[in-house]
Structure 1
Amino acid sequence: MSITDWKSGGREQSWRALTENTHWDIVIAGGGVTGAGVAREAARRGLRVLLVDRQDFSWGTSSRSSKMVHGGLRYIAQGDVRTTLHSVKERERLMKEAPGLVDLMPYMMPHYDGRFPGRFAFGMLLKVYDLLARRKYHTFHGADSVRERYPFLNPDGLTGASEFADAVTDDSRLVMRILHEARRDGAEVLNYVAVDRTEQNADGVTISLRDTVGGASCKVTASVLVNATGVWVNELREQLGQSADVRPARGSHIVIPAERLPVDVSFTILHPQDQRPIFVYPWEGRTVIGTTDLDHPKPDNGEVGITRREMDYLLALAAFQFPEAGIQEKDVISSWAGVRPLVASGAKNSSKESRDHTVWKDGRVVSVSGGKLTTFRLIALDVLKEARDELPECEVDKKAPVFTITDPAIASLASEQMAHRLAGFYGRDAAEIIGTAKAHGGAEDLEPIPGTHTCWAELRWQAASEAVVHLDDLMLRRSRLGLLLKNGGLDLLPDLKERLQPMLGWSDEHWAAEVERYRRLWSQFYSLPSVQSEQAAKTSEGEIA
């Protein structure tokens, strides 16, 4: 078990533990899905592992994806069957290991007379896709059936629709579940700790760490430093005189009420402006439209948000494909934008770049960037393979599950839907969450908060047990209330204060400061386009294509 303390008030103790244990087999910089995957795989091998992130866990790309665990259908069309095969196998593995966290989601591609893609060519692609998964998911629906099921869909020239399948998740909760597994195997994991400098020699790497909350600093040594900082990968590599051509690409999404556009599948729509595929899909009780794909300037350590150009682009897609719904900007509940790292190949625009990952080894520093949410486990194995000469020998089962089995008795402790969710999101901690709810909050704590699938029992446990430093950690990443509720969930703050402030251990003054911080952050980067979101994107805005 980990000795760092994620409980409220445990941060100082965790920092002391870090400074008293100064040598590690592996130090990992970056608490997104890639870094979490490396920590999970390294810790299960019995290695001494420390993971730090200068922001919150999953603060970057890993909380701002499209939430899809997919096999990469487009790679087949590009002739890259190997990448699709790996991705499909990982998708199937994750659905089997973590139901409730990674679940099957039907997709639908409408077909129109004279428009790409045609039914038969797309159907052949789906046959190969299902063959790789060793399961038949795809089917075809005639035009009349599609119009009856989705009366708001643009009917002009509709010839039918192909249905197939991939999976959906909560990306930030996926990261947290991986980190919990790593901690149970002994990994030490701390958010808001920056890697400021590194120096290496034949014996190891000296790493200067800084607590970005309290300001304290210390040095530790490691046999290997893993640089899993994603789009910021060059910041550490440049200290070693190295760099890679990483192309930052921004993707933005908007969230609207499900009743304004009720979908039970993920529609895949080619945008009329540039023929890029855009998804319109159900997520956590809302409907999401995204993503854009724009070149982004070299990111700093600050937030990004949707721009006016992106908002108009996504609303234009809704107006084109769902004209009867009449979706307007006033319907938008929230937005999110993320910057993903693409290892540049010289493609004309960012959407043509490969989504595969690249690993670089500079002495005892192993850096990784790129890749897909779906294949985090394979990326972690590649990183450890590159680092193996500097690490103690250890036996490893490469087929071992990422997630431990959740007690099936949980199914009888809450409603079927809530038990499924809690078991997936929290694994072995689900029983504690349910038990605490029944002991202190009553059955109502296991009922979803209106407008979401989240219950109060989750929030209580997150506040008490998941290293929450700021209110936005809780509202945007541990839970997704800031994306799902109008006004970022600010109307819920009186209830949040009453129920959660004691668990967080915050004074009234501290609570007020966090509310103001969150209010400003949400309005500038998670709502409609703002001066600040435009400023963050201003120096580079390539084609949305």
Structure 2
Amino acid sequence: MNRDASWAALQRHETEPLDLLVIGGGIAGAGVALEAARCGARVALVEARDFAGGTSSKSSKLVHGGLRYLAQGRIGLTRESVRERKALLRDMPGLVTPLRFLLPVRHGDRKGRRILGLGLALYDFFAGRRTREWHAPAAVLAQVPQLQEQDLAGAWSYLDAQTDDARLVLRVLAEARLHGALTLNHVCADSLVEAEGQVQGACLRDAASGQTLVVQARVVVNATGAWADRLRQGLGQSPQLRPLRGSHLVFEAWRLPVAQALAFFHPKDGRPVFALPWEGRTLLGTTDLDHHEPLDREPGINAAEFDYLMQAARAAFPSLDLGLEDVVSTFSGVRPVLDSGDQREPSKEAREHLILAERGLLTVSGGKLTTFRASAVQALRRVQARVPALQRLRSDAPLLRAPGIASLHAVRELPEALRERLLARYGDATATLLAEAQPGELQDIPHAACCMAELRYACRHESVLHLDDLLLRRSRTGLLLRDGGTALLHKLRPVVQETLGWNDERWDDECHRYRERVLRSYGIPAEWRP
């Protein structure tokens, strides 16, 4: 169903109530929409910006149990995370993939071999299998010869997982649509509709057309992430969230080569930092600080954060002499973290999810990418009495349907890496993608982790309204290529204009808008530019 048809279908619910109206198209909202639609509930999801346009495309790309949460004594959160990681690895092969971590231990560290080993033993216990292994210094340096050798006592290795966070959201939304959910991006919930002291719907506005409508729903779900308090305050509720920014650097892999993820401690404050391989690049992060900028302005790394991460990289890998020219891109996300109210350090705030039922508004926020399904199921159980279909709610059903025979047949002669990537990202839609591909479009775009056929498919079938939707979330071209991949725009132009119907003026406007966005939020801070 295309976007216009989805809007027309949504108009029917001006008089006929939905079971659930989900506001927010990140991983939290997508998870709620899928689990509710799977039960047979009538569900619509709207997102004010783009699907995964907030934190859900700007995470650290990790599907992990949260070893540092275990160190903080949050055993329940770690147990739940490890269980959910196991399920995602099982149900989303190729989209969620195993990732081995190496954790160096140095003489004089506050948490030495013994303490870390005990924590990893508990980590493995929750996972039901042993993955930890101790490596002597010589073995560590054989694996990571560029690592700082001074005071190295050895390293622990253990298993976690990683993903393409934006594609994860898109795949969950696609599955929700297969179960009958409506999903629309660039549709704002301007206000909530109340009757008899209860929320019973929302006033929606399509940012593309300017059209408005009032949708009725038995339950309205607030899954707007860092914006969740904004809707809640419209009901007179007090804020519960503390927006925290996490920023990352993306390096050329040949300049910062890591065959596995490497966790280490920042020399300045002892915070954990990691470098990990991701889509042919090396990702380094993350910061954790209060975000005081307006939430409606897309976040970007500041000069102090950039300097902080460069210090970490140079301290851990002194022989590489890393510099500004080795950074391909940057990105920053704002995490909706529960506010303890005691002004503690950002890294010490709890990462559990927030579930609140207030006057008919169900808020689902906070938490971790890894536990999106668990939080969705817990939230929906709070409103089972109001939506009878949710009595069929299950927490153990496979997350995704397996690709059908047509898609499996269509990919049989493709190279293995391409075959796995397409099936993981598009599932049963892979057959359509391949049928629409033009000659030569299945060749990978160098360093972009996608091909032109995927961009063509996204334009036709994945609700692309703007160029950044396509290059920053449907693909990760804007992160993986310098200058947001703008060198590819001349090749992309005929595909986009053909599939989206943009005239030359619209194309030029979109290119200008995209370049400004990349420079402001995905590039080097102005203070560091030559």
Normalising by structure 2, we get a TM-score of: 0.95
Letter in 2 for 1:289: L
Kindly indicate whether residue 509 of structure 2 is the aligned counterpart of residue 517 of structure 1. Answer: no
Alpha-carbon distance in structure 1 between the residues aligned to 2:77 and 2:429: 34
Kindly indicate whether residue 401 of structure 2 is the aligned counterpart of residue 404 of structure 1. Answer: yes
Alpha-carbon distance in structure 2 between the residues aligned to 1:204 and 1:233: 15
Letter in 2 for 1:402: L
CA contact (8 A) 2:260 2:276 kept: yes
SS at match of 2:383: helix
Q: Which of 220, 226, 236 matches 1:225?
A: 220
Letter in 2 for 1:45: C
SS at match of 1:208: strand
Alpha-carbon distance in structure 1 between the residues aligned to 2:433 and 2:5: 24
SS at match of 2:248: strand
SS at match of 1:34: helix
SS at match of 2:494: helix
Aligned pairs for 1:60-459 (under 5 A) are 60-202=54-196, 205-297=200-292, 299-345=294-340, 346-393=342-389, 394-407=391-404, 409=409, 412-437=412-437, 440-441=438-439, 444-459=440-455
Q: Which of 465, 484, 490 matches 1:494?
A: 490
Letter in 2 for 1:154: Q
C-alpha displacement at 1:296, in angstroms? 0.8
Letter in 2 for 1:363: R
Structure-2 residue corresponding to 1:539: none
C-alpha displacement at 1:128, in angstroms? 1.2
Structure-2 residue corresponding to 1:16: 8
Letter in 1 for 2:379: V
Deviations 1:489-511 (A, max 9, x none): 00001111123321122111111
After alignment, is 275-284 or 194-203 more displaced? 194-203
CA contact (8 A) 1:253 1:289 kept: yes
Letter in 1 for 2:513: R
Alpha-carbon distance in structure 2 between the residues aligned to 1:21 and 1:95: 37
After alignment, is 454-463 or 489-498 more displaced? 454-463
Alpha-carbon distance in structure 2 between the residues aligned to 1:77 and 1:207: 42
C-alpha displacement at 1:432, in angstroms? 2.5
C-alpha displacement at 1:405, in angstroms? 1.3
C-alpha displacement at 1:190, in angstroms? 0.4
Deviations 1:256-298 (A, max 9, x none): 1000011011110100111100110111100111010011126
SS at match of 1:62: helix
C-alpha displacement at 1:204, in angstroms? 5.9
Alpha-carbon distance in structure 2 between the residues aligned to 1:359 and 1:21: 26
CA contact (8 A) 1:413 1:434 kept: no
After alignment, is 237-246 or 63-72 more displaced? 237-246
CA contact (8 A) 1:406 1:423 kept: yes
Alpha-carbon distance in structure 2 between the residues aligned to 1:471 and 1:491: 14
Aligned pairs for 1:23-62 (under 5 A) are 23-62=17-56
Structure-1 residue corresponding to 2:458: 462
CA contact (8 A) 1:280 1:289 kept: yes
Structure 2 residue ranges without an equivalent (≥5): none
Deviations 1:440-471 (A, max 9, x none): 32xx4323211132122211111111000000
Letter in 2 for 1:18: L
Identity rate of aligned residues, in percent? 43
Deviations 1:422-450 (A, max 9, x none): 1111111123223433xx32xx4323211
TM-aligned CA distance change 1:116 to 1:431, over 3 Å:
farther
Letter in 2 for 1:148: A
C-alpha displacement at 1:409, in angstroms? 4.7
CA contact (8 A) 2:201 2:220 kept: no
Alpha-carbon distance in structure 2 between the residues aligned to 1:304 and 1:130: 36
Structure 1 residue ranges without an equivalent (≥5): 6-10, 534-545
Output the aligned Cα RMSD.
1.7
TM-aligned CA distance change 1:13 to 1:429, over 3 Å:
closer
After alignment, is 251-260 or 298-307 more displaced? 298-307
SS at match of 2:382: helix
Alpha-carbon distance in structure 2 between the residues aligned to 1:298 and 1:321: 31
Deviations 1:389-416 (A, max 9, x none): 2212442332111111124556623111
CA contact (8 A) 2:218 2:386 kept: yes
CA contact (8 A) 2:21 2:201 kept: no
Structure-1 residue corresponding to 2:524: 528
CA contact (8 A) 2:449 2:477 kept: no
Deviations 1:96-136 (A, max 9, x none): 11111000001011111222331222112111111110122
Alpha-carbon distance in structure 1 between the residues aligned to 2:145 and 2:84: 35
Alpha-carbon distance in structure 1 between the residues aligned to 2:261 and 2:84: 20
Alpha-carbon distance in structure 2 between the residues aligned to 1:117 and 1:417: 39
CA contact (8 A) 2:26 2:53 kept: yes
CA contact (8 A) 1:29 1:35 kept: yes
C-alpha displacement at 1:517, in angstroms? 0.5
After alignment, is 239-248 or 511-520 more displaced? 239-248
Alpha-carbon distance in structure 2 between the residues aligned to 1:148 and 1:350: 36
Normalising by structure 1, we get a TM-score of: 0.92
* Matched pairs, number: 520
Q: Which of 499, 504, 508 matches 2:504?
A: 508
Alpha-carbon distance in structure 2 between the residues aligned to 1:13 and 1:79: 49
Alpha-carbon distance in structure 2 between the residues aligned to 1:125 and 1:435: 50
CA contact (8 A) 1:248 1:298 kept: no
CA contact (8 A) 1:204 1:221 kept: no
Structure-2 residue corresponding to 1:543: none
Alpha-carbon distance in structure 1 between the residues aligned to 2:25 and 2:523: 25
Letter in 1 for 2:8: R
CA contact (8 A) 1:355 1:370 kept: yes
TM-aligned CA distance change 1:347 to 1:92, over 3 Å:
farther
SS at match of 1:52: strand
C-alpha displacement at 1:206, in angstroms? 3.2
